[in-house]
Amino acid sequence: MLIAIEGCIGAGKSTVAKGLAEYRKSDLLLERFEEHPFLKLFYGDPSETATETEVAFLLLHYSQLRTVNSASPRETVADFHLSKDLLYAELNLTDSRTKAGFFHLYEYFAERVPSPTVLVYLSAQTDLILERIRQRNRDFEAAIDPAYYARVNEAYDTLFARYSGAKLSIPMEEWDFVKQPILYEELSALIDIQLKSYK
């Protein structure tokens, strides 16, 4: 069983995934973005390094998600899922042949990793996203035009709207998990409702 926490950069995915996994006594799977060899290069020059950046992310996510056994009774909470790779490829890849090759590779990998049992979308206004990005002060993130984050945020809204499986949308302007850890109990109960309704 896989509970995937998704949302824009800065929405709070890792924080929520850690807290939820702890509350539910679940396994935790965090995106190993720090192992990505091209990420800082991408933030420095997105147009020139988009191809290697997106392919490397796809490989990294595939490698991590393959460790999740969908047949196991153990529950895993992850702060990412493979579907995000399509989102970023649509935004960042401009060459049609490159996109076609990427989508073909994505389809191959998507068949070999578990789909989320429940997708939890952390929705947030772009102003909140930008504020959180400034607060965590990662140099490579601060170098990007804020309009890029707005486009990513909008793409996540579209992704969630189109997702046909069990899903939840959590408005992060109203849900402050850092100040109110009791919210993990409420989120867990909402997830259980989704799990029952999709059995």
Residue 91 belongs to a domain with what CATH number? 3.40.50.300
The tally of domains found in the chain comes to 1
Q: What does the mean pLDDT of the chain come to? A: 90
Containing domain of residue 144, as a range? 2-197
Nearest Cα residue to 160 out of 123, 106, 199? 123
Q: Quick one: average pLDDT of 180-186?
A: 96
- What pLDDT, in 10s, does the model give residues 30-82? 999 888 988 888 877 778 889 999 999 999 999 999 989 766 778 999 999 99
- What pLDDT, in 10s, does the model give residues 138-172? 766 666 778 888 999 999 999 999 998 899 999 99
At 122, which helix (H) or strand (E)? strand 118-123
